[in-house]
Structure 1
Amino acid sequence: MANVAVADIPAKNPSFSLNIDWSKLATHIVLLLLVIVWTLPTVGLLVSSVRDKDQLTVSGWWSALTTTERTGGGRTSGAEAQKFVDGQFVIEGNLLSEDEKGRTISAFGLTNKTFGENPVGTSVVPKAGGELSVFANGDYRWVSDQEFDFSRGQRVLYVAQIPPRFTLENYVEVLTSEGIDRSFINSFTVTIPATIIPILIAAFAAYALAWMQFPGRGYLVAIVVGLLVVPLQMSLIPILQLYNNVAPMLGVEAKSYLGIWLAHTGFGLPLAIYLLRNYMAGLPKEIMESARMDGASHFKIFTTMVLPLSFPALASFAIFQFLWTWNDLLVATVFLGVGDNELVLTGRLRELIGSRGDNWEILTSGAFISIIVPLAVFFSLQRYFVRGLLAGSVK
């Protein structure tokens, strides 16, 4: 037998070291948790928007795939519906309405005290006599040896099991509601100019604050930064009073699109100027100096060089401004009004839900309908979003 060196024999339990970057792993875990926290409500909203109204009112979205239990009631037919069958008087029918078809009754009773005490298939004795039986599919059979003599049927209370049901009825109800098409048009009429106008003004102001030398430039930048922390609700009333005093002098109606455009422009300008100014200030100084040596004016430099290079920052602010304006309700109500021809989409959804929330089940479908356009805008500009936002926030 050949001799085998000990060194040639592999170890049975070789030891190895596992290097784990714990800080990187912790970062990934935190990011995953943040994604879940932000995504979970959206998933719940989506599931709720396609659930049946009855199920939505009695259980949460997490129980969408399970059978839910709901109480209800129905009434039998009167004595005029009785038939004489095999020597007995019989009243037959179904307790469930057309909207309740598909439910399964598990128990029933005739009064609040006996509510749900009798399993389906058993018989109870109503005050009018005879024996009343209720079955799982909602059918009932009331049998008596004596002729029935009453004008109103017997009230029957029951416990029903509702199987999971998904439907697009909530979306259909919102999309077919009166005035929803006009509200979409109003929202576009408000949002598009209210996004473009502040970008145009802020771009010129940002270039001036970034590359033009004039007295008081630093104070203007400080004022712009200070305006970022002023809540919209605090400045709304003074701006409204100022607009109501100036608008008649200019021949402008108090409730008009021009008013709401100016309002959204005023509220959006501080962030727009701050973001664009920081981005433009970070552009290479050599390019500007070369253009000036070639005799280019500030306007020429701005339109041919700075503006194209600042497109990521412009796109970032455009996304923010579009989202804020599209989802706005307060400014639109104050400056545009609440008439049927002036309501924006958010106002129309509020009217559909009702002042007391009577139709709150369509809130979920209405929310997803309202975010279709902002999502399209975001995904079309998302490649510029992070780059423009970060570039304008670290300077």
Structure 2
Amino acid sequence: MRYDPFDPAVMADPLPYYRVLRDEHPVHYLETWDTYALSRFDDIWNMLEINDGTFVASEGTLPAAAVLARHNDGPVADPPLHPMPFHANFDSPIYEDVRRCTATPFRPKNVAKLRDRIRVLANERLDELLPLGRFDLTQDYGGIVAASVVCELVGLPAEMAADVLATVNAGSLAQPGSGVEVANARPGYLEYLTPVVERTRAGEPGDLPIVDNLLAYRLPDGSALSDMEAAVQMLGVFIGGTETVPKIVAHGLWELSSRPDQLADVVSDLDANVPVAREEMIRYCAPAQWFARTLRRPFTLHGTTMRPGQRIISLLASANRDEREYPQPDEFLWNRPIARLLAFGRGQHFCLGAHLARLEITIMVTEWLKRVPEFRVDAAAASRPPSSFQWGWNNLPVDVHGVGG
């Protein structure tokens, strides 16, 4: 068995590899990267709940091959405070402190206030798209709605949603052998975010708690964040809020459309059934493949002891298909009982936007099914580019001829 997340064959279709890993190599050593891959649900669930400093993200939660190629001789320290990288690279207390700065809009009560706005955005898109008869379900519908929400959260005009979506999508494309070079894409992202910070610091009116909190924050040495450093801390919102939800919405609707009996069940009571189907869509369709941690303390699993400086990648997409957790995991079952879910991660780095993502998926799926009783995905024209990380349906052309605006 040879598994490498950057191998072209794996990037094109990782699912067969995950099955072999789960069954035969639950702790798999990747010698090239001095990294271990965990593939079973329980192992990842238990590992991610450990929050005692055994695992840190000082090399990033999604390190590229160039980072993993540097093998460590012992624990890796936090990066320097300045210029400050994304806060996920730090251990406590910096990570939690900066995360709290960005968390205000994503708390459940604040997310609930966005319900009506998201519904308006979804229906505005449908008003424009449905008369066309054919469009891209991922990009034109879910992508624009999600990017519009992100724009409003970070202080950008909603009219920039299409540009933001294109920029984030381009930054997630990966090359075989290297992975997602996030650092190379960041200057493009920061061209949107740094001016927002500059305007806020200059006193321009605006309700932007994320930016206000970041400008007020002080590092342990008493220093403040520069405009660019504050913008870097917003990348999780900017990227994560833009690219994942549209792929789940489009793919989930496709799965329902290909199973008329399940689609009929969901449509029979949208308010009650879409939230149930949403959880199966997240399990089955979430595009994120893995996240990494670096060890600062020895850790033993299934008789294998990993030493400080080595890495662990938790294959969340494999956990989503683990038959030990989900019977018939390769089947899409809209009302599957889901007691536990790892698509949003777990523990210290649990997805900041999980509440918002669930709300967006629920509303976009509901509004679509209210207005589009029949639709057909053009499977021959669908596109899921190879990726070591965001392996999802970037393009899903859909035909809705005969549906009015």
TM-score (norm 2): 0.23
Determine which structure has more spread, i.e. the larger CA radius of gyration. 1
TM-score (norm 1): 0.24
